[in-house]
Amino acid sequence: MGNTMNINLKVWRQQNENAQGHFEEHKVQASPDMSFLEMFDVLNEQLIEDGKDPIAFDHDCREGICGMCSMVINGRPHGPKGGVTTCQLHMRSFKDGDTVVVEPWRANAFPVIKDLSVNRSAFDRIISSGGYVSVNTGNAVDANSVLIPKDVADTAFQAATCIGCGACVSACKNASAMLFVGAKVTQLSMLPQGQPERESRVVAMVDQMDAEGFGACTNTGACAAECPKEIPLSVIANLNREYYKAKLNGK
Amino acid sequence: MKLDAKIPEGPLEQKWTKYKSSVPLVNPANKRNLNIIVVGTGLAGASAAATLAEMGYQVSAFCFQDSPRRAHSIAAQGGINAAKNYQNDGDSVHRLFYDTIKGGDYRSREGNVHRLAEVSTNIIDQCVAQGVPFAREYGGTLSNRSFGGTQVQRTFYAAGQTGQQLLLGAYSALERQVGLGNVKMYARHEMVEVVKIDGKARGIIARNLVSGKLERYFGHAVLLCTGGYGNVFYLSTNAMGSNVTAAWKAHKAGALFGNPCFTQIHPTCIPVSGHYQSKLTLMSESLRNDGRIWVPKKQGDTRHPNDIPEEERDYYLERRYPAFGNLVPRDIASRAAKERCDAGYGVGPSKMAVYLDFKYNMMNKYGRAEATKHGIANPDDETLLRLGKDIIKEKYGNLFDMYKQITAEDPYEVPMRIYPAVHYTMGGLWVDYELQTTVPGLYALGEANFSDHGANRLGASALMQGLADGYFVIPYTIGNYLSKEIHTKPIPTDHEAFEEAEKRANERISGFLKIKGTRTVESYHRELGLIMWDKCGMARNEKGLKEAIEQIRALREDFYKNVRVPGSDSGFNPELDKAGRVADFLELGELMCLDALAREESCGGHFREEFQTEEGEAMRDDDKFLSVFAWENKGNNDYELHREDLNYENIKIQQRSYK
């Protein structure tokens, strides 16, 4: 349906982590109702038919929730529209004849695997260092025995909607992961279940974040501006508050 | 082969309790010497891996995504059922059990389903303890809503992101065990073979998707938590990577496949818009709490929906099923939509869509209540709409935004256009009460097994089953097997069984690259999907199924002659990963058609056009088909059917009615 659009793509190609990368140009015919990744599907089928190497990119759910898709489009993580992931971006957000530049997430802590795919296992290690409540299966009390005010639950939920895509890191000049870490720390520090480990958690997670090579916060807020789930910048303020409090208490 | 479901003796309500208190245990010191492999890290896999590691077992977990948190459980929207009866509306373990059996059109086991209903309450407790931020009331208690096929409010939820919150809870428990050194996590790894030694599952061959290398892993037991196979239809609500490969390799290694043709087609998805379409997006069942489904009364009506007056609209679900209305189960709602579209009443550019309209409840249910609350007497329509819109936004805002993003239409202003799409597979690896397949030491959990949903799953029950299996069932049942394995020392992976399995995988994978044909993997997948959707989808008949089997065989033959897989088997090559998955779908698709052909009745999501009532409802044949079909793979795409008869001792089987 709709009209055909001609798009000039400049795509980052890189064979593996250690190879030198470069931009490659392609012309693609797209439909306005196509998603950005479907345009890549069309291009890749063409490349395969022409005997060329298709472009590697990460994607899975294509509903904006798994956090796997990760393209910097015209300099912006997940492209020009606010509040959407790359997979939920549609070609109607572009114009016929546009030149679109596509790069992988840019951060030392996210090394390129191939082309537009990067390794984000650093995020898993940060969660592994403390982003949980230590409660073994079988220990739980009745769910309604601990009451949680609705506004507290709603705020914790808002922070918990982070999809771990890494757009915040990619958007940041310092490749800081403060928004990601702040979201998890905020969720668990607000809830009664998170209290016993509140101080040890934040210290462990920040230590791991630093060890992974993520930079310091720039306070410019690019992370929150580009976050597809609109995690607010206030989670970073909260992260700092939680961290200093824990440190003052000798953690 | 005699299939023994191993349902414990005794009254239904005591089976699980008795089983738990008499199953052999493994002492903590021995647990540390036992290795368990968990493939897949969705709700079932992450919860199982975390819990088994907490108990002291040595766990290795595998997922093909870049992180265990990406598993497709994350995309579940609406909620999770539990028989808590927090709403005091008459819910109970028995009622959840009954609704699930009836919803499944009497094709699941009483013993399994009752256990599921029993542990459902523990799941909510566990998740809350982990810090899962469920929706709450102002008083601080948990909130509930309704889902299809039930008349109580037992669904717990976190806006439209329940699956995400539950999975992140299980993922954090898993990552905690990774940090403690009890779980070794292998992301971007795909299982490509089960390794069997002396008839028992003893490990897997996994392909490292970054390096392309095949790797060998030993385990005293192997758990497959690898989800469903809806992507055999190409277009589905599954993630792009969702696949049947691990389950299919297990099947080829001797695990029987149960009820493969039982597929859930979800009634409310965004319709197909073009040939380039790569997947379909679900609009949560929870929308049917407030959305009314209709089509024009006139065939081929091209007027704008807002210009069609009330009396010229056919609210066909309310007309046909007054007792449940828009909240009939998924199979029934889907079939009814297809019936209207096939009869020429469909809407939208493709005419293959129906309307899901919120205007009535926006105005009359919420708008009026808000007006009363604000003391507005005689509000006009515009005021009602404005007031009601805010409430709808609070309840479903993220879904409305997603719809608008995909279709460029604003569902607050015009009704959503929806059409059924493949969503879930009730079929899967046959397992007994202990979740063990027909291969000793090989287990299947969650959507990967066939066990609890019969011929149709009720909404908000998939999350329940995945977490029940992982948190509360397998930790007990695996003890029965592993207690006999405490003397088994880890088997070195240079054992000939590992050698042979790796060789098989290697030959298969390098084989794809050698074909060097002209057609892309994607094009085969798309063609297979069309055959499946047309002939093994919402309606099936003997002629179509026979044609489909021939077409799939021909397509498979062509695949091995003409497919083109670029690149090499070393390094990162997503096209090669896809080739292996599509090759397995090309075999599974045929088995699904064989199963659908053999089941000469209609039940739940399986609708054989030859077997329907005068009113077009599914007509079961309990005399002949009150049984599970479990298929044995004899090699070379040859299958033998085994049956497990279902015994109903507590529930009286009836014609399923929602009228």
- DSSP for A141-196, please give it: PPGGGS---HHHHHHHHHHHT-----HHHHH-TT-B-HHHHHHHHHHHHHSGGGST
Contact with chain A for residue B317, Cβ under 8 A: no
Q: Where are the alpha helices (DSSP H) in chain A?
A: 36-49, 121-130, 150-160, 167-171, 178-190, 198-211, 222-226, 234-248
- Degrees, nearest 5: CA angle B230-B236-B242: 50
pLDDT digits (tens, 9 = 90+) for B230-280: 999 999 999 999 999 999 999 999 999 999 999 999 999 999 988 899 999
Count the residues in chain A: 251
- Which pLDDT does position A251 carry in this prediction? 87
Amino acid B230: pLDDT: 98
**CA B165 vs CA A196, B47, B158, B284: distances in Å:** 21, 13, 7, 16
pLDDT digit string (tens) for B112-149?
999 999 999 999 999 999 999 999 999 999 999 888 88
Instruction: List all residues 6 or more positions away from B9 whose beta carbon is below 8 Å from its beta carbon.
Output: B15
Q: What is the pLDDT of residue B146?
A: 87
Q: Which of A237, A243, A174 is nearest to A208 (CA)?
A: A243
Contact B240 A150 (CB under 8 A): no
> Which of B128, B283, B417 best tests the A interface by mutation, with the highest count of A CBs <10 A?
B128
Q: Please tell me if residue B22 touches chain A, with a CB cutoff of 8 Å.
A: no
Say yes or no: B75 contacts chain A, CB-CB below 8 A: yes
Q: Do A38 and B141 touch (CB under 8 A)?
A: no
Looking at chain B, how many residues does it have? 659
Closest of A150, A99, A151, A127 to residue A205, by C-alpha: A127
Tokens representing B97 are 């059990």
B409 CB neighbours in chain A (<8 A) are none
| CATH T-level topology, domain B266-422 | Flavocytochrome C3; Chain A, domain 1 (3.90.700)
pLDDT on residue A2? 55
- What's the CA gap between B98 and B103, in Å, rounded? 8
Average pLDDT of chain A is: 97
Chain-centroid distance of CA B185 in Å reads 24
- Render B91-140 in DSSP notation, one character per residue: --HHHHHHHHHHHTTS-S-HHHHHHHHHHHHHHHHHHHHTT----B-TTS
- Closest alpha carbon to B98 in B156, B153, B150, B155: B150
**Percent of chain B surpassing pLDDT 70:** 100
CA distance linking residue B438 with residue B265, whole number of Å: 28
Q: Is the CB of A198 inside 8 Å of chain B's CB atoms?
A: no
| Residue A160 sits at the chain B interface (C-beta within 8 Å) | yes
Q: Considering only CB atoms, which chain A residues are within 8 Å of B522?
A: 41, 45
Do A156 and B133 make contact, defined as CB atoms within 8 angstroms? yes
Whether residue B217 contacts residue B203, with contact meaning beta carbons closer than 8 Å, is answered with yes
Amino acid at A244: Y
Task: Tell me what pLDDT residue B396 has.
Answer: 87
Extended beta strands in B149-237, E state:
155-156, 183-186, 189-197, 200-208, 214-218, 221-224
Q: Confirm or reject contact between A88 and chain B (CB < 8 A).
A: yes
- pLDDT higher than threshold 50 for residue B212: yes
**Mean pLDDT throughout B212-235?**
98
A147:B137 CB<8 A: no
**pLDDT over threshold 70, residue A22:** yes
Question: In this complex, is the C-beta atom of B617 within 8 Å of any C-beta atom belonging to chain A?
Answer: no
Touching A: B residues 125-144, CB under 8 Å: 125-142
B128–A133: do the CB atoms touch at under 8 Å? no
- Domain range annotation of chain A: 5-114, 121-248
How far apart (Å, rounded) are the C-alpha atoms in residues B174 and A126?
13
- Per-residue pLDDT at B473 exceeds 60: yes
Res. B656: pLDDT tops 70: yes
Is the distance from CB of B592 to CB of B631 less than 8 angstroms?
no
**Tokens 């025995």 identify what position?**
A145
Shortest CA gap A85–chain B (Å): 11
CA B547 from centre of chain: 27
Smallest Cβ–Cβ distance between B129 and the set A15, A121, A139 belongs to A139
DSSP B365: I
The burial of B573, by beta-carbon neighbours within 10 Å (0-12 exposed, 13-18 middle, 19 or more buried), is given as: buried
Hey, are the CB atoms on B274 and A68 less than 8 Å from each other?
no
Question: Min CA distance, A159 vs chain B (Å)?
Answer: 10
Q: How far apart are CA B68 and CA B226, in angstroms?
A: 12
CATH class of domain segment(s) A5-114: alpha beta
Residue pointed to by tokens 């795909």: B190
pTM of the model: 0.97
B647 touches chain A (CB under 8 A): no
Class of the CATH-defined domain A121-248 = mainly alpha
Largest separation between any pair of C-alpha atoms in chain B: 83
* Angle of helix A198-211 versus helix A178-190 axis, rounded to 10: 170
Q: What are the residue ranges spanned by the domains of chain B?
A: 12-22+33-262+426-482, 266-422
Write the pLDDT tens digit of every residue in A25-59: 999 999 999 999 999 999 999 999 999 999 999 99
Residue A1 in this model has a pLDDT that exceeds 70: no
Looking at CATH, the fold of the domain delimited by B12-22+33-262+426-482 is given as FAD/NAD(P)-binding domain (3.50.50)
Only one residue has tokens 């929906």, namely B305
Q: Which helix (H) or strand (E) holds B643?
A: strand B639-645
Q: Measured between CA atoms, how close is A221 to chain B, in angstroms? A: 23
The region that residue A210 occupies, defined by phi over 0 for left and psi between -120 and 50 for alpha, beta otherwise, is alpha
Whether A46 and chain B come into contact, CB under 8 Å, resolves to no
Both tokens of residue A94?
A: 């572009």
Residue B655 pLDDT: 87
Min distance B238 CA to chain A CA atoms (Å) = 7
Question: Does the beta-carbon distance from A33 to B67 stay under 8 Å?
Answer: no
- The average confidence (pLDDT) of chain B is 96
Residue in this structure with the two tokens 């099923």, named with its chain if needed: B321
The residue among B51, B137, B165, B172 with the most chain A CBs within 10 A of its CB, best to mutate, is B172
Residue of B561, B330, B529 whose CA lies nearest to B423: B330
Alpha-carbon distance of A129 to B145, in angstroms, equals 36
**How many cross-chain Cβ pairs, A to B, lie less than 8 Å apart?**
223
Q: What is the enclosing helix (H) or strand (E) of B462?
A: helix B462-467
Q: Does B72 touch chain A (CB under 8 A)?
A: yes
Question: Which two structure tokens, joined as six digits, stand for B130?
Answer: 């982990």
Q: In this predicted model, what pLDDT tens digit does every residue of A56-106 receive, in sequence order?
A: 999 999 999 999 999 999 999 999 999 999 999 999 999 999 999 999 999
Question: H or E segment at B519?
Answer: strand B519-520
